[in-house]
Amino acid sequence: METLNVEKKDGILKVVFNRPDKLNAINSLMLKELGKALRDAQRDESIRVVVLTGSGRAFSSGQDVEEALSSDSIGEHLKNNYYPVLLQMRRMEKPVIAAINGIAAGSGLSFALASDISLMKESAELYYAYTAIGLIPDVGTLYFTVKRVGYQKAMELSFTSARLSSGEALSLGLVNRVYPDDEFEDAVMEFARKLAEGPVKSFGLTKRLANAMENLTFEEFLDYEAMLQEVAGNTEYFRKAVENFLRGRK
């Protein structure tokens, strides 16, 4: 791939945004390649967890500005290039981890927030860069931010084009964990390995249930929960786990 480095090991697919000279700015080719990598990972049963990260000193600085200026329609660019990849991430029934190794700005921030788990290097930053250039938060950034920090705080972050340290991002609940710079890569892969060793079918069903919440009443949610639990309860993993528990084994 031209814009990504992809590495598979121990059930983990590591997808690296690889335009370091551009701070991993996202262009149409990168989105096309990322979509393909995610689709392939969903189909490949040997892949149990996906890790997204960046090369060099950035996770991603967001949309490639030169490409954006040449686009006739920003809205069509979003709908045709970004949204299919974003939906693929959310619908993928395997854990997706964002390993935020450096600045995550604009649509780079969007992909970090859209992941199931976000792990952040201590020196990294999140940057709500949109209104600074007269745009609105897009690619789901505002959606995920409101869900995590509430309406008023999300408005503050957006209106002020906030630039957040890892400590601030953690305290707001925008990321799950922060690791010292010299421990970051090892800590991320250890976290991913633990998930890869777990019940990925259960993780996928949990993700499906969480994604369905908004469109269901509580009663409908409980019905859907029961249906998915029936699926989980018929897996080999569950049967072995119960057997081991009854025999006093892990």
DSSP for 131-169 reads: GGGT----TTHHHHHHHHH-HHHHHHHHHTT-EEEHHHH
Q: Please give the average per-residue pLDDT across 202-216, as a whole number.
A: 94
Separation of alpha carbons 172 and 184, rounded Å:
20
Q: What is the pTM of this model?
A: 0.93
DSSP for 5-54 reads: EEEEETTEEEEEE--GGGTT-B-HHHHHHHHHHHHHHHH-TT--EEEEEE
Residue 69 pLDDT greater than 70, yes or no: no
Q: What DSSP element (H or E) covers 97?
A: strand 96-100
Q: What is the pLDDT of residues 154-169, one digit of tens each?
A: 999 999 999 999 999 9
- One-letter amino acid at 194 equals K
Domains along the sequence of the chain with CATH? 4-196 (3.90.226.10), 200-246 (1.10.12)
Residue 65 confidence class, pLDDT cut points 50, 70, 90: confident
